[in-house]
Amino acid sequence: MNTNGVAKEYHKLTPWERLPLTMGAAFRGDNAEFDRLARSAPRHRWELPDHYGLGEGLQVEVAEHVMNQLNRAVIFWQASALLESALLEEKIWESKIAKRIWAPLRMLAYRIVTHADGWKLFCEGLRLDPDKILSLMPGYDTMKQAEQACRAGMAYTPEEALKCLRGMLEAKEQAAGQAPVDVHIPTALDVAKDMREGLERALEKWS
């Protein structure tokens, strides 16, 4: 049976059969097959409250924030352990490993703190308790522990982060013979703005 013949039977698939086939087509980049599977699925009609899109969008923002913060936390703790090991082994701050790790580690700490502050600003705009929402997610305690460690003098200030990034970029540009470019360090306001825009897009999808 050819592909078109098989596709004629797609309407008989159960949701449990259709989902893996659809995801398989997506992973292969087979847009035509993905479309055939999607269009052949039986349709159901539902009535939803007008705030459904916002609720769905908030779930996405929560999940993305937690996953990104946990990813940063893992890297932060790994780098911190490597730094501590280098200092203990070398007994001196002049260790090449310690020098190489210190600036990126403080920059990462800045990102963790900035995204935590951005999340709080985002929730303030929605009149929601930022910690109450996150406390329902797996990994909350690990995320908060990393944030507290970063706030205890590890994280760069915005001015220090900008100076550090400019220095790293200027060194690369000079080595490559390129003209210097302007740089911007994301702030908590930038993070909150991005989250708010994500929520607005989610609402528009259901409008």
- What DSSP state is assigned to residue 92? S
CA distances from 185 to 4, 147, 191, 196, 200 (A): 52, 19, 11, 19, 24
Domains of the chain, residue spans: 3-39, 52-205
Sign of the CA dihedral running 105, 148, 166, 186: positive
The mean per-residue pLDDT over the stretch 113-122 comes to 97
Tell me, rounded to whole angstroms, the distance of Cα 141 from its chain centroid. Answer: 18
**pLDDT higher than 80, residue 19:** yes
Q: How confident is the model at residue 102 (pLDDT cuts 50, 70, 90)?
A: confident
CA–CA dist 18, 137 (Å, integer):
29
26 burial type by CB count under 10 A (0-12 exposed, 13-18 middle, 19+ buried): middle
CA distances from 94 to 89, 99, 156, 191, 197 (A): 12, 7, 20, 35, 45
**pLDDT higher than 90, residue 9:** no
Structure tokens at 203: 């609402």
CA–CA dist 149, 71 (Å, integer):
15
* Tens-digit pLDDT profile for residues 128-184: 999 999 999 999 999 999 999 999 988 999 999 988 888 777 666 566 666 556 778
**pLDDT higher than 60, residue 68:** yes
